[in-house]
């Protein structure tokens, strides 16, 4: 009988089944974060701050000490935690509603202070958990339950480009925008996540990866169509790239 | 115990927190307590502590939440509008059963109000403020010496029960100068061990999950039952009050904090004029010393509550007295401090 290695998940995940919808990228992104934590050998000293939003259960899936912050406040919670125990690795995991709406102040100031934390920012251009309302990142013309006529710049304002805003802040050591809808993108995203953690481990400053992501459920399309929609629409509004890479430059 | 030193209120509380073993302060300036924030900024680096000025009270309280998750002693201070902003975080801290200490140096409200001393945040402090069924242990110091002692106590109680505790001070206390005897520095190695639940990295053990969250209503009800059981223990063990000239008193003046102190002068003046008055001063505003106060319902003819508010604590006094004797009230609002004479005049009108 040929030797078949049993499929094993990363150690930083506890193997609980994800509760995300079929085709949702949260699961892929969780796995990438866990693989990076394994590869960096930091599982025993990493503290996770989960958000409010679909990934509120993130802390349940990771085999790490974890907490759930109030909506949008994860960067402040992580700041308090990191300053209290600077030898630990602290990361936040946040959606666009969490990071780009209610928590705008907290993310901007944590990034600007050069807080030695890592932020995984999952941008699916919509509020997933609460049932598909408009997010600050919702595209113009995009219909959501609270922009039923399609988002209009003159009424609902423009989509906000958080990476482009955060890129202007001097405390940022690593900042990239990626996606995970193809195998190649998955590899690139993992490399970016690793760098964002390395920025923290080296003491370089704040690290963030914005990951364009799908919400097939609230976009009202199939998982395959969602990947396509992301490629054709989200990427146009939110260009991919590495905005800042000062990893290894501290001291 | 060292010799007495002359200090300012805000600084006395800050120094007391450091001596109690607190090395972490995150805060945001607001009058009349900014000197406490400034004191911590200056003092904490001297004791290898961490000070951080947050971008808002919303951020400050969440920083406190994050630090409290690691099991370390944490502390912040603010004044009324700032504490309103902190309510979100206080509710989360209470729900996650984390120890943390707050100081609210109350000013006149509502809204932006003014920067003069007030007691108008009593409801917010003792009845909730944030969402959900939670309680905070609330202390109302009358002097700087008491504020220093209650600061230590606030940390011990927060740690012991894993709850939020708060010093409800007012601008008078914050700004006054008095001689104070500070306790010795607590040996940091003797602080309570929180390693059984705190987030310190799961090296060699199961991961710790510290949250106020439970999507299952039965699970959340269980958590709430646990909170309530803790609060019951606090009610049984942590009530504090002071009785002043009450042995033979016909009139029980009920007042807390600096007004409690003024009330003692009023009682003395009243006695000189033949009115047998005494003072009941609650020190814990939650848990409220209901039973201790209710003991005077047989003896006294009148209960007289004095506050720098529209009459918030008067509701707790009425609960204690339970309709057995009249409860009267006198208060000033907007940050106006009542004088002993005007309180006495009101008392004379009533008897
Ligand atoms: C203070 C507060 N306001 C509103 C909510 C309700 N709420 C829960 S999740 C959510 C939106 C989350 O959207 P996003 O961050 O984009 O995450 P997703 O669900 O898309 O992953 C909102 C508004 C809340 N929990 N707390
Ligand atoms: S609602 Fe959207 S974001 Fe939430 S789990 Fe489902 S697909 Fe993912």
Q: State ipTM.
A: 0.96
Taking the CA of residue B221 and the nearest CA in chain A, the distance in Å comes to 18
- Tell me which residue has its CA closest to atom 7 in ligand 2: A215
Mutate to test the interface with B, among A47, A78, A80 (most CBs of B within 10 A): A80
In this structure, is residue A64 part of a structural domain? yes
Q: Which residues of A touch B73 (CB under 8 A)?
A: none
For A100, the domain range is: 26-245
Q: Calculate mean pLDDT across residues B46-71.
A: 98
- Percent of chain A whose pLDDT exceeds 90: 95
Q: How far apart are CA A93 and CA B339, in angstroms?
A: 55
Q: Is A226 in the pocket of ligand 2 (CB under 6 A)?
A: no
Query: How many separate domains does chain A show?
Result: 1
Work out the mean pLDDT of chain B and round it to a whole number: 97
In this structure, is residue A198 part of a structural domain? yes
In this structure, is residue A107 part of a structural domain? yes
All domains of chain B in start order, with CATH:
4-236 (3.40.50.970), 242-349 (3.40.50.920)
In this structure, is residue A7 part of a structural domain? no
Atom of ligand 2 nearest to the CA of A19: 5
* Confidence band for A246, pLDDT divided at 50, 70 and 90: very high
pLDDT of residue A4: 61
Answer whether B67 sits within 8 Å of A105, measured CB to CB.
no
Q: What one-character DSSP code corresponds to residue B323?
A: T
In this structure, is residue A20 part of a structural domain? no
pLDDT of residue B236: 98
What CATH number has the domain bearing residue A148? 3.40.50.970
CA distances from B127 to A86, B123, B154, B232, B337 (A): 36, 5, 18, 15, 24
Q: Taking the CA of residue B281 as centre, how many other CA atoms within 13 Å lie in the half-sphere pointing to its CB? A: 24
Q: What one-character DSSP code corresponds to residue B182?
A: P
Q: How far apart are CA B172 and CA B33, in angstroms?
A: 10
CA distances from B141 to A132, B13, B149, B257 (A): 50, 11, 9, 5
* Confidence band for B4, pLDDT divided at 50, 70 and 90: very high
What residue has token string 């996650």? B96
Whether B70 and chain A come into contact, CB under 8 Å, resolves to: yes
Q: Is the pLDDT of residue A251 over 80?
A: no
Q: How many CB atoms lie within 10 A of CB B243?
A: 16
pLDDT of residue B175: 86
Strands of the sheet containing B50-53, edge to edge, are B50-53, B24-27, B74-78, B100-106, B164-170, B137-139, B284-286
In this structure, is residue A4 part of a structural domain? no
* Confidence band for A2, pLDDT divided at 50, 70 and 90: low
Answer yes or no: are the C-beta atoms of B80 and B121 closer than 8 Å.
yes
Q: Is the pLDDT of residue B208 over 60?
A: yes
Q: Is the pLDDT of residue A7 over 70?
A: no
Residue A80, token pair as written in the block: 């308090």
Answer yes or no: are the C-beta atoms of A178 and A208 closer than 8 Å.
no
The size of the A-B interface in CB pairs under 8 A is 130
Answer whether B66 sits within 8 Å of A84, measured CB to CB.
yes
Q: Which residue has the higher pLDDT, A203 or B170?
A: A203
CA-based Rg of chain A, rounded to a whole angstrom? 17
pLDDT of residue A101: 98
Q: How far apart are CA B67 and CA B61, in angstroms?
A: 10
Q: Which residues of A touch B65 (CB under 8 A)?
A: 67, 69-70, 73, 76-77, 80
pLDDT of residue A183: 97
Answer yes or no: are the C-beta atoms of A48 and A93 closer than 8 Å.
yes
- Residues B254-294 have pLDDT tens digits of 999 999 999 999 999 999 999 999 999 999 999 999 999 99
| β-strand partners of A209 | A120, A176
- Tell me which residue has its CA closest to atom 5 in ligand 2: A20
In this structure, is residue A15 part of a structural domain? no
Answer yes or no: are the C-beta atoms of B347 and B251 closer than 8 Å.
yes
Q: Is A125 in the pocket of ligand 1 (CB under 6 A)?
A: no
DSSP assignment of chain A, as one string? Answer: ----PPP---TTB--PPP-PPTT-THHHHHHHHHHHHHHHT-GGGEEEEE-SSGGGGHHHHBSSEEEE-STT-HHHHHHHHHHH-TTSEEEEEEEHHIIIIITHHHHHHHHHTT-S-EEEEEE-SEETTTTSEE-TTPPTT--BTTBTT---HHHH-PPP-HHHHHTT-TTEEEEEEEE-SSHHHHHHHHHHHHHHHHHHHTT--EEEEEEE---HHHHTS-HHHHHHHIIIIIHHHS--EEEEE-TT---
Nearest ligand (C-alpha, residue A22): 2
In this structure, is residue A84 part of a structural domain? yes
Q: How far apart are CA B123 and CA B132, in angstroms?
A: 15
pTM, rounded to two decimals: 0.97
Pocket test for ligand 1, best of A19, A71, A92, A146 (most atoms within 8 A of CB): A71
Atom of ligand 2 nearest to the CA of A122: 3
* Confidence band for A1, pLDDT divided at 50, 70 and 90: low
Q: Is A216 in the pocket of ligand 2 (CB under 6 A)?
A: yes
């Amino acid at each position: 009988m040929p030797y078949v290695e049993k499929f094993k998940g990363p150690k930083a995940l506890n193997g609980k089944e994800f509760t995300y919808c079929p085709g949702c990228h949260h699961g892929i992104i969780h796995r990438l974060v866990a693989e990076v934590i394994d590869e960096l050998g930091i599982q025993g000293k990493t503290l996770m701050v989960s958000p409010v939003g679909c990934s509120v259960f993130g802390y349940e899936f990771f085999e790490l000490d974890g907490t759930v912050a109030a909506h949008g406040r994860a960067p402040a919670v992580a700041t308090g935690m990191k300053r209290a125990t600077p030898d630990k690795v602290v990361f936040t995991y946040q959606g666009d509603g969490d990071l780009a709406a209610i928590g705008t102040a907290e993310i901007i100031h944590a990034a600007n202070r050069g807080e030695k934390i890592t932020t995984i920012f999952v941008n699916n251009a919509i509020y997933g958990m609460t049932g598909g309302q408009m997010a600050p990142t919702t595209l113009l013309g995009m219909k959501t339950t609270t922009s039923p006529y399609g988002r209009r710049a003159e009424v609902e304002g423009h989509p906000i480009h958080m990476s482009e805003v955060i890129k202007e802040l001097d405390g940022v050591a690593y900042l990239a925008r990626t996606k995970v809808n193809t195998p190649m993108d998955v590899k690139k995203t993992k490399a970016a996540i690793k760098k964002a953690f390395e920025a923290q481990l080296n003491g370089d400053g704040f690290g963030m990866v914005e990951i364009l992501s799908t919400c097939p459920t609230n976009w009202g399309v199939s998982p395959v169509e969602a990947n396509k929609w992301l490629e054709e629409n989200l990427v146009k509004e939110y260009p991919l790239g590495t905005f800042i890479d000062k990893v290894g430059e501290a001291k | 115990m060292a010799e007495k030193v002359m200090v300012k209120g805000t600084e006395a509380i800050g120094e007391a927190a450091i001596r109690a073993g607190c090395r972490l302060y995150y805060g945001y300036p607001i009058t009349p307590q900014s000197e406490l924030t400034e004191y911590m900024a200056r003092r904490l680096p001297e004791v290898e502590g961490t000070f951080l000025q947050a971008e808002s009270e919303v951020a400050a309280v969440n920083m406190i939440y994050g630090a409290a998750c690691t099991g370390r002693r944490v502390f912040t201070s603010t004044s009324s509008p700032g504490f309103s902003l902190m309510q979100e975080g206080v509710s989360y801290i209470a729900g996650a059963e984390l120890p943390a200490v707050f100081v609210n140096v109350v000013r006149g409200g509502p809204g932006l109000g003014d920067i003069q001393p007030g007691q108008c945040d009593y409801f917010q402090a003792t009845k909730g403020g944030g969402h959900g069924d939670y309680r905070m242990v609330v202390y109302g110091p009358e002097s700087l010496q008491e504020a220093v002692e209650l600061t230590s106590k606030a940390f011990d109680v927060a740690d012991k029960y894993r709850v939020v505790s708060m010093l409800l001070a007012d601008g008078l206390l914050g700004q006054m100068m008095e001689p104070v005897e500070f306790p010795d520095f607590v040996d940091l190695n003797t602080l309570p061990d929180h390693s059984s639940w705190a987030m310190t990295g799961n090296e060699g053990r199961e991961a710790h999950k510290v949250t106020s969250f439970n999507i299952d209503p039965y699970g959340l009800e269980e958590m709430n039952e646990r909170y309530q059981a803790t609060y019951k223990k606090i009610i049984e063990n942590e009530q504090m009050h002071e009785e002043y000239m009450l042995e033979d008193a016909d009139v029980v003046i009920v007042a807390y904090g600096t007004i409690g102190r003024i009330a003692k002068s009023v009682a003395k003046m009243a006695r000189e004029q033949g009115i047998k008055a005494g003072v009941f001063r609650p020190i814990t505003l939650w848990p409220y010393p209901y039973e201790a106060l209710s003991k005077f319902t047989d003896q006294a003819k009148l209960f007289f509550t004095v506050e720098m508010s529209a009459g918030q604590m008067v509701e707790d006094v009425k609960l204690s007295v339970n309709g057995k004797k009249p409860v009267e009230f006198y208060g000033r609002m907007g940050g106006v401090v009542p004088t002993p004479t005007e309180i006495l005049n009101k008392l004379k009108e009533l008897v």
